[in-house]
């Protein structure tokens, strides 16, 4: 706890927690100014600490004070959990806080989709840290995903405010590049501390070089103006609210069935009915792709009133393409195509590549208000219309764009130009590396074959071929 958490850190003296409200609360706006929640810093810029944990404003003492009112009796009153059962679970879990024992916490949608899901997960992580169950075999916080590549969704930055590798889009107010970088580059709080996010400039510059290649330079702040600036956080419910208000013209549902996934299918259907066009990329017909059909009393719609034009683009299933799946532990498993796709089905990569190529051609022909992000997008694949899974995996991994020299010995080349980097520690913020997600040592065919031979007793003949 002392070495790897903020247990001994001293919090600012203007921090308070009274009657369930933290300091900095604005009752009129119902928001918090969190400045008082920060740590006390010394003249050297590092956080003040108390190794004895006796200072009343150290995190340990503040945490004890915060939770002292949550007695077993109060837990029973608030949660309905009988006192005896709560104490039994607490005793068993706390018994793992010794060498040779460990406990894991596994969670799924009941926690992640809860209205206070983030706080629940954060609290559970703190419990695991308190018990020493992080970084040991059999410990950790382990998400039980409904299907493997949902983890890839977050790793590759498919959320509206995210970039690959857990980087974030700039906000509307962040027009200044250096301000954007400074706000996200976390400085070490203790001397000799390894702060992962102090590498943010290396991650960001390498990502921009991966996307825009030679068009991303130090002179144009690595194409910072090419990135959209987020005016607000759009979640799924807000998008369908805007559809119902007639403020969204088109929608692409890629591997997503919102009518089945969201809570109010009628409202989702009403929103889709107000679009000019809907594109559905999916291997199968879904409720969303056929939202306009009248199925009787459970879907009684006036089909003639719906003007939405629906484009169905059939995609391949996982067994009809090479690729990788990723687990909650970020372990990549490579798989080979076992069958050809039926009919007119294409991979998601082929469909998105075709959209990109056509959009670039239109911008080249007709121009536009700001064509640069599309026209300058780097697309140097062997088959531009359908980049291979191996090429994409290597792009995610990252590579050296120039010889990477040893900072301690400029005559020594750590990584020759064109070679894949071995980890994030080799990335640079001077434009000499490209990187697109954060996985390391992405497989070429030979490496993938070795992985399969080591992990799979037998493989289908089609995969071997």
Q: Could you tell me the pLDDT band of residue 297, with boundaries at 50, 70 and 90?
A: low
Structural domain range at position 89:
70-144
The enclosing H or E element of 143 equals: strand 141-143
Take residue 203 and report the two structure tokens written for it. 């991650």
Name the domain boundary from 144, 176, 204.
144
The tens digit of pLDDT for each residue in 47-75 reads: 999 999 999 999 999 999 999 999 999 99
Question: Is residue 175 located within the same domain as residue 115?
Answer: no
| Residue 404: inside a domain | yes
pLDDT of residue 442: 44
The tens digit of pLDDT for each residue in 185-205 reads: 998 999 888 888 999 999 999
Question: Is residue 172 located within the same domain as residue 210?
Answer: yes
Q: Is 157 exposed, middle or buried (0-12, 13-18, 19+ CB in 10 A)?
A: buried
| Residue 60: inside a domain | no
| Residue 111: inside a domain | yes
| Residue 364: inside a domain | no
Q: Could you tell me the pLDDT band of residue 299, with boundaries at 50, 70 and 90?
A: low
Q: Going by C-beta distance under 8 Å and a sequence separation of 6 or more, which residues neighbour residue 82? A: 76
pTM of the model: 0.85
pLDDT of residue 292 exceeding 80, the answer is yes
The tens digit of pLDDT for each residue in 230-258 reads: 988 777 888 999 999 999 999 999 989 99
| Residue 98: inside a domain | yes
Question: Is residue 185 located within the same domain as residue 224?
Answer: yes
- Shortest CA distance to 184 belongs to which of 166, 202, 171, 197? 197
Name the domain boundary from 114, 144, 174.
144
Distance CA 412, CA 319 (A): 44
Q: How many residues does the chain have?
A: 465
Q: Could you tell me the pLDDT band of residue 460, with boundaries at 50, 70 and 90?
A: very low
Question: Is residue 132 located within the same domain as residue 188?
Answer: no
Q: Which of these ranges, 323-337, 360-374, 383-397, has the smallest mean pLDDT? A: 323-337
| Residue 201: inside a domain | yes
Find the mean pLDDT for residues 17-21: 90
| Residue 430: inside a domain | yes
Query: In this predicted model, which residue has the larger pLDDT, 237 or 211?
Result: 211
Residue 42 backbone class (left: φ over 0; alpha: ψ -120 to 50; beta: rest)? beta
What whole-number percentage of the chain has pLDDT above 90?
70
Take residue 101 and report the two structure tokens written for it. 């024992």
Scored b (16 or more CB within 10 A) or e, 8-33 reads bbbbeeebeeeeeeebeeeeeeeeee
Find the mean pLDDT for residues 138-167: 82
Question: Is residue 134 located within the same domain as residue 106?
Answer: yes
Cα dihedral 141, 147, 148, 150 in deg (nearest 10): -80
Question: Is residue 75 located within the same domain as residue 134?
Answer: yes
Reported in sequence order, the residue ranges of 374-426 that DSSP labels E, i.e. its strands, are: 399-400, 404-406, 409-415
Q: Could you tell me the pLDDT band of residue 154, with boundaries at 50, 70 and 90?
A: confident
| Residue 363: inside a domain | no
Name the domain boundary from 118, 144, 170.
144
Question: Is residue 173 located within the same domain as residue 136?
Answer: no
CATH of the domain at 100: 3.40.228.10
DSSP 73-91: HHHHHHH---HHHHHHHHH
Name the one residue in this structure whose structure tokens are 């004070």.
65
Count of domains forming the chain? 2
């Amino acid at each position: 706890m002392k070495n790897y958490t903020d247990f001994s850190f001293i919090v600012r003296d203007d921090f308070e927690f009274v009657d369930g409200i933290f300091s900095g609360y604005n009752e009129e706006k119902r928001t918090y100014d969190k400045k008082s929640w920060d740590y006390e810093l010394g003249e050297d810029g590092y956080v003040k600490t108390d190794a004895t944990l006796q200072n009343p404003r150290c995190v340990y003492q503040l945490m004890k004070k915060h939770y002292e009112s949550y007695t077993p009796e109060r837990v029973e009153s608030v949660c309905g959990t009988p006192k005896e059962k709560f104490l039994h679970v607490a005793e068993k879990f706390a018994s793992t806080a010794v060498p040779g024992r460990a406990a894991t916490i596994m969670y799924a949608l009941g926690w992640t989709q809860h209205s206070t899901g983030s706080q629940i997960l954060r609290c559970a992580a703190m419990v695991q840290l308190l018990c020493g169950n992080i970084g040991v075999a059999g410990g950790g916080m382990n998400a039980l995903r409904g299907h493997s590549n949902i983890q890839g969704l977050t790793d590759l930055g498919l959320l509206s405010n995210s970039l690959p590798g857990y980087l974030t889009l700039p906000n509307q107010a962040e027009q200044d590049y250096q301000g954007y970088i400074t706000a996200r580059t976390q400085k070490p709080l203790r001397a000799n501390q390894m702060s992962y996010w102090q590498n943010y400039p290396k991650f960001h510059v390498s990502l921009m070089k991966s996307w825009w290649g030679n068009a991303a330079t130090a002179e144009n702040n690595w194409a910072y103006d090419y990135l959209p600036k987020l005016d607000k956080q759009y979640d799924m419910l807000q998008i369908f609210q805007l559809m119902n208000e007639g403020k969204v013209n088109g929608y692409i549902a890629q591997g997503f069935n919102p009518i089945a996934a969201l809570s109010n299918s009628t409202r989702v259907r009403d929103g889709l009915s107000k679009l000019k066009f809907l594109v559905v990329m999916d291997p199968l017909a879904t409720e969303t792709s056929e939202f306009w059909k009248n199925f009787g009393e459970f879907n009684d719609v006036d089909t003639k009133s719906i003007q939405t034009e629906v484009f169905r683009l059939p995609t391949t299933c996982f067994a009809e393409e090479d690729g990788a799946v990723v687990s909650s532990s970020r372990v990549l498993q490579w798989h080979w195509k076992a069958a050809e796709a039926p009919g007119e089905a294409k991979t998601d990569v082929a469909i998105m590549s075709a959209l990109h190529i056509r959009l670039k051609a239109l911008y080249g022909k007709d121009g536009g208000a700001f064509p640069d992000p599309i026209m300058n997008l780097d697309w140097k694949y062997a088959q531009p219309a359908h980049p291979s899974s191996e090429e994409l995996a290597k792009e995610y991994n990252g590579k050296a764009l120039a010889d990477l020299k040893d900072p301690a010995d400029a005559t020594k080349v750590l990584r020759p130009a064109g070679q894949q980097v071995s980890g994030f520690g080799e990335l640079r913020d001077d434009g000499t590396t490209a990187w697109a997600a954060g996985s390391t040592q992405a497989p070429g065919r030979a490496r993938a074959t070795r992985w399969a031979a080591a992990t799979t007793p037998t493989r289908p003949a089609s995969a071997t071929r």
